[in-house]
Amino acid sequence: MDIFEKCAEYTLANEYREMGIYPYFHALQSRQDTEVIMEGKRRIMLGSNNYLGLTINDDIIQAGLDALKQYGTGCSGSRFLNGTLQLHLELEAELAKFLRKEAVITFSTGFQSNLGIISAIVGRHDYVICDKENHASIYDGCRLSYGKMLRYDHNDMADLEKQLQKVPDTCGCLIVTDGVFSMGGDIAKLPDIVDLARKYGARVMVDDAHGLGVIGEGGRGTASYYGLEDEVDIYMGTFSKSLASLGGYMASKAVVVDYTRHNSRPFMFSASMPPATAAVALAALKHLEAHPELPKNLIKISNYFRNCLTERGIKIRQSETPIVPIYTYDPIPTLTISKELYEQGVYVNSTLPPATAPGECLLRTSLMASHTEALCDEAADIIQKVLKEHEII
């Protein structure tokens, strides 16, 4: 059998292309901002994770340019060998201070962070328990580990306890959950998770990719939001969202971070973050520290947009984050509506299985602190018009 046979048999993308509703790989021709030029036309950007709007901040851009001049374009090696810059150490120290953890290790991407953390911590005789709506990188981290993975129904604490009861007393156990869930925008029930972890002797890891810079004191994330910073054992997060760069991190006790530094294959055998990328993340973090009002502004404009949609009869899932999903349920209507919104000047993300459960397709909209009320009104009017035409409202 030819290993490429599966490639020829995969036809779904071409079917969507032939229908004219293929939604992916639209090309940006401008900066990542609240309004962009995409394929020659102005679009209101409601599909970015640039939560604090820092990708266009002049001081942060300058930090990247300065690092490029000082260090060159890349490190040409892993952190483990020749690829550690003083800049990486400064970023890790500043982030540890901000998150109030003993130590931080940084990875080249957010996806790689979950691969590297989970595969290092979860060993052959350990268990890892995941919320079913966790990010794909968490699942792949579990697969890369030698441990046994169990799953619990989304935010269902009774089901989590059932899974914990399956773990033998002789085995280690790590509970992993998104802090802010990337599709629905809802927040993990962290107090209950922590209580169950204590009861059953498990450790807790929170993926705060969509929590850092968004919720908690000064944007410190989900544990801070609940006042549980001392109760969460591992924070994972990314630089590609609120911090306007690329990369990810693990924050934990120094002994746990040092173990990961010497046992995580995705960390040890990957090239380190390029200098400009690390400098931008550090500058964005310092900007967030100096402007703790930014997460508050983000939530304020997000709530305004939710009210805009609700007033226009559009059903949404209520939450306290900048992620506002509009459920369209089935793939073809989802892609069709997304295309029409795009043509009328609003970019949203079409979200289909496996990113959602079957029958729960949605249009994922997300806000930036820099969105204005006028842009929210304009976008909501267009969304209302298109959804009415498709009898969604």
Structural element, H or E, at residue 41: strand 41-45
Taking the C-alpha atoms of residue 130 and residue 374, their distance in angstroms, rounded to an integer, is 40
Q: Annotated catalytic, 241?
A: yes
Of these residues, 210, 287, 339, 371, which one is catalytic? 210
Of these residues, 88, 101, 135, 241, which one is catalytic? 241
Compute CA 223 distance to the chain's CA centroid, rounded to the nearest angstrom.
Answer: 16
Q: Which of 157, 161, 151 is nearest to 131 (CA)?
A: 151
Q: Amino acid identity of 45?
A: M
10 Å CB burial of residue 343 (0-12, 13-18, 19+) is exposed
Taking the C-alpha atoms of residue 232 and residue 212, their distance in angstroms, rounded to an integer, is 15
Of these residues, 48, 113, 145, 182, which one is catalytic? 182
37: region left, alpha or beta (phi > 0 left; psi from -120 to 50 alpha): beta
Going edge to edge, which strands form the sheet with 346-347? Answer: 35-38, 41-45, 346-347
Contact at 8 Å (CB) between 256 and 234?
yes
Task: Note the residue count of the chain.
Answer: 393
Taking the C-alpha atoms of residue 341 and residue 331, their distance in angstroms, rounded to an integer, is 15
Q: Which of 295, 241, 273 is nearest to 104 (CA)?
A: 273
Q: Annotated catalytic, 182?
A: yes
Taking the C-alpha atoms of residue 70 and residue 91, their distance in angstroms, rounded to an integer, is 16
Alpha helices in the chain (DSSP H): 5-9, 12-19, 58-71, 86-99, 110-121, 136-144, 157-164, 190-200, 222-226, 254-263, 265-268, 275-290, 293-311, 331-343, 373-389
Contact at 8 Å (CB) between 10 and 331?
no
DSSP 75-126: --SBTTTT---HHHHHHHHHHHHHHT-SEEEEESSHHHHHHHHHHHHS-TT-
Taking the C-alpha atoms of residue 220 and residue 148, their distance in angstroms, rounded to an integer, is 31
- Positions annotated as catalytic residues are 182, 210, 241
